[in-house]
Structure 1
Amino acid sequence: MQLLMQEINKAVEGTILAKNEETFTAASVDSRNIEEGNIFFALKGDATDGHYYIEEAIKKGAKAIVISDRSKLPIINDYSGIIMVKNTLEALHRLAHYVRMHSPARIVCITGSMGKTTTKEFTAALLSGSKNIFKSEGNMNSLTGFPLSLIHIMPEHEIAVLELAMNHKGEIECLTRIGKPDIGVLLNVSEVHLEFFYSIEEIAHEKLSLVNNLSEDALVVYNNDDKYLRTISRNPRYSYGLLQESDLKINSIEKLEPFGFEGNFTEKDMNYHFHFPVRGKWNLYNLLAAVGIARKLEVEWDVILERIQRLQVPRMRGEVIVLGNNICLVDESYNSNPRALEESLKDFSIMQCRGRKIAVLGDMLELGKNAEIFHRQAGETISKLGFDCIFGIGNLIESMLETIKKEAGNKIELYLFKTSQECRDFIIEYVKSDDCLLCKGSRGMRIDIIVNALKGNFKQDK
């Protein structure tokens, strides 16, 4: 974004209360992260009100603010611009849409119950070097994060790779209308956010609203192995999968040691051999999506195959870390849901390990009325996989441990803690040389506290 205040005011349909002649290149909704020259949107939320942080934002370098409540406006220095609007979140959305519609970049928007950030990172890595790429930082994919990402797209960017997330009805439609993607990508549908949806079918309907709100000439790239997505029939479309016949498919998969895969991509009856240094079958689906996007953006196969060999998962999303004393740590502490947990447990259970196999698991949150059932089902899975020890953290996790105890008796050591902080010191003393640990839980359970403690106490061998 490179916009003058007059242009921003036109985009947000506001009224200028104080004007300056700055050129703005970025926006923020968090006064703690303001950088010099930002425009600050004072959003009103359930827990706080951005209007109370206007003065802090200006002290940190904000050159303009967008407000909806004039009564909360502090005394502002003359150089600061002020735009008054009816609703600051809607104003943020309008500005993001304005930037998108004036950007020459091709917009790729990725959604799904799992794998959005990993697929985004894979996609950007496959495209980088061929094109000038913008990618959203971290998981900037919400009703505030996504528009902020759009606003940061600059004129020189040729392709922007972004994520769309939701936990309530209507959010995917809203974000799609703001971003007007040239390529919409649907990864999967799974049991997430059931606290806010009646069924997985409702979640599927919400995800598919991306397709329903694409422009006629926009491309949809989708997972043809997902039963909720393979019904997509609109054109243009491009499918991928491991099982169903698709435009892009992987055949002849072989697992590599200690982790990773090799196999063949098949596209238009042609085969292309690849080496992929990442664990987990689910990441083959993320890879397929990224390769499909790259192919539709005209990246040649030889370039794609060479770049695949250097792909890495983002932090906290399946990193395999070898610590001191040959302790192997698989860090999946960013999030968890029933399907992702089951796949990760099964994959981890067949990893080579000279010591004990230990899982550190936190509650799976936002599962609604069936939360206890999902945790008990996970317990049934764990009891059959040959684990030596399970550390459970939270309240819901207790039902998982009860099920493991019932199914496996005393074959698996079980420990229950209410918080990651309580577990941290105990597990540091418990872990021994050659142990392998899988750490996974919903973000709110802060399993990363345990991961960081393990990394700090068993430093990697140099």
Structure 2
Amino acid sequence: MQIFILISHILFLLALGFYLITALQWFSYKFQRIVFHFTKPLWHLWFLILPIVLYFGISTFSSFGFFIFFYVIYLPALFLWHKKLDKKLVFTSRVKRFFVIFLFAAIFIDILMIQKAQILPIFLPLFLAFIISFGYEKYQAMLFKKSAQKKLENNPNLTIIQITASYGKTSIKNFLFQVLKDDFICYKTPRSVNTLNGLIKDINENLEPNTQIYIAEAGARLAGDIDEITQFLRPQIVVVGEIGAQHIEYFKTIENIRATKLEALNSTRLKMAFLHSSTQKEKSKNVEIYDLNLSNVCASLEGTTFDMKFDKIYSFKAPILGDFNAWNLAVCVCVARYLELSFEKIQKQISKIKSVEHRLEKIEAGGKLIIDDSFNGNFSGMSKSYELARSYQGRKVIITPGIVESTQEENEKLAKIINDIFDLVMVTSDLNAATFEKIIDKNKLIMIKDKSKMTEILAKETKVGDLVLFSNDAPNFI
């Protein structure tokens, strides 16, 4: 019986650890974020708090009784929960190390305590595992950071362009790379890598020693995050894009967001900064407000055109959707000019620029026009994409969770625009469900409770000739 209790207890600890490390991985291993900013608190209740309470409650009378609950109810429920996640736990080296440390801590403590207590300890193995694991990862991060710094220092001719914004920074990064890549040996951070640890890993593993321009994206959840990245990269060129209410739940005010983004100007090697007017900074010797000379923006389902004034007015045409992309491209024009590319070359590069994956990406399939804008998650970009869809003559369908990590007011404004433009509205998250149900016409609203059935629902509800817009995407832990 003792062997059964020992093995079962270790499995129970591993199950709790599995839930915790999964949640932590979603939120960059920040405990304060899964405590104060977790949008599914009932998951914490069902998979962490309640099992622990029941363990102490039932095991007081019968350890065997609790483990009946564990094997019959908790373990199958945890398995089904993870199976339905669209962002499952990735078994990185860090996660594997955590489980090895956790397993040894659990076995060691349980063997010591098996003869001394009816109820085996839970918090001590968890505490030890996280302390040892996080301590080791911090030490490793320090070594990796030194290695990355040395790699940057060994390339004195490297120009670093750091890009930050409330939204649009990934698009700016990708567009700028496409504009510069034929004239320089360029490298950009992959996907949406924008944290300090992500940048350190990317530099160590992927940055070639002959690179001339490194385009790095910098993101933030807390004050000081951008400054930390800036002190590490020490960029010569900084881009601060549009400032808005994205991640307002972390920063509390727009002023805090603006101040954090402008930490990018703290670079000790700063030569030139290109800022959006929403930063509320004024033009100076090494600061340019890039959207002030932008005009005549026009967007359709065929592409985007805009003018920019320098010594004279220059016109640009890009085969990408969304008038907001004119602002993203405008700063690329300014940076390219600063790097001495001719206007003719910039116009040519922009004329063949490719859309960023999942950002107003146009696809034609099965007689339907599909616009994948699932990586666009802010009010400004989303609402403008809806105006773009308005011009379509056929039936218009939208699939969206609304805006994540923003205000209820912005979601209410968004819902009103959606209700005005779209013929069928599918909501994929319960985060903003109440807002949508209050504003959207009930006759055209579909609430999707299980995203795994999305394909089946789309096949049933859409038809040839429809425009189908995927607007933002929220993993089901949000």
| Higher CA-based Rg | 2
Aligned length: 360
Deviations 1:164-200 (A, max 9, x none): 1112221101001111101010111111112211112
1:183 to 2:237 alignment? yes
Task: Give the letter aligned to residue 164 of structure 1.
Answer: A
- Rounded Cα–Cα distance in structure 2 between residues aligned with 1:428 and 1:85: 46
> Percent identical across equivalent pairs?
21
1:393 to 2:428 alignment? yes
1:454 corresponding residue in structure 2: none
- 1:391–1:415 Cα contact (<8 Å) kept: yes
Among candidates 113, 124, 138, match of residue 177 of structure 2: 124
Structure 1 pair 392/105, CA: closer, same or farther in 2 (3 Å)? same
Among candidates 422, 427, 452, match of residue 453 of structure 2: 422
- Report the TM-score, using the length of structure 2 for normalisation: 0.69
Structure 1 pair 49/112, CA: closer, same or farther in 2 (3 Å)? same
- 2:290–2:330 Cα contact (<8 Å) kept: yes
1:457 corresponding residue in structure 2: none
CA RMSD between the two structures: 3.0
- Rounded Cα–Cα distance in structure 1 between residues aligned with 2:387 and 2:345: 33
SS at match of 1:195: helix
- Rounded Cα–Cα distance in structure 2 between residues aligned with 1:140 and 1:234: 31
SS at match of 1:121: helix
- 2:238–2:270 Cα contact (<8 Å) kept: no
Structure 1 pair 53/197, CA: closer, same or farther in 2 (3 Å)? same
- 2:245–2:254 Cα contact (<8 Å) kept: yes
Among candidates 222, 247, 261, match of residue 168 of structure 1: 222
Deviations 1:327-373 (A, max 9, x none): 111101124133332222222222x23x3101111143223xx4x33
Q: Report the CA distance between 1:376 and its aligned residue.
A: 2.2
Structure 1 residues 166-175 or 147-156, which shifts more? Answer: 147-156
Task: Give the letter aligned to residue 400 of structure 1.
Answer: T
- 2:194–2:217 Cα contact (<8 Å) kept: yes
- Rounded Cα–Cα distance in structure 1 between residues aligned with 2:177 and 2:388: 26
1:383 corresponding residue in structure 2: 419
- 2:282–2:289 Cα contact (<8 Å) kept: no
Structure number with the higher helix fraction is 2
1:309 corresponding residue in structure 2: 351
- Rounded Cα–Cα distance in structure 1 between residues aligned with 2:320 and 2:386: 16
- 2:226–2:264 Cα contact (<8 Å) kept: yes
1:210 to 2:264 alignment? yes
1:264 corresponding residue in structure 2: 307
1:252 to 2:296 alignment? yes
Deviations 1:79-133 (A, max 9, x none): xxxxx89622233333322222222210011111111111111111111111111
1:237 corresponding residue in structure 2: 287
Structure 2 segments unaligned to the other structure (5+ residues): 1-27, 32-88, 100-128
1:289 to 2:316 alignment? no
1:360 to 2:388 alignment? no
- Report the TM-score, using the length of structure 1 for normalisation: 0.71
Structure number with the higher strand fraction is 1
1:7 corresponding residue in structure 2: none
- Rounded Cα–Cα distance in structure 1 between residues aligned with 2:251 and 2:137: 32
Structure 1 pair 193/397, CA: closer, same or farther in 2 (3 Å)? same
- 2:303–2:319 Cα contact (<8 Å) kept: yes
Q: Report the CA distance between 1:45 and its aligned residue.
A: 6.9
1:339 to 2:380 alignment? yes
Structure 1 pair 305/89, CA: closer, same or farther in 2 (3 Å)? same
- Rounded Cα–Cα distance in structure 1 between residues aligned with 2:208 and 2:201: 12
Structure 1 pair 107/251, CA: closer, same or farther in 2 (3 Å)? same
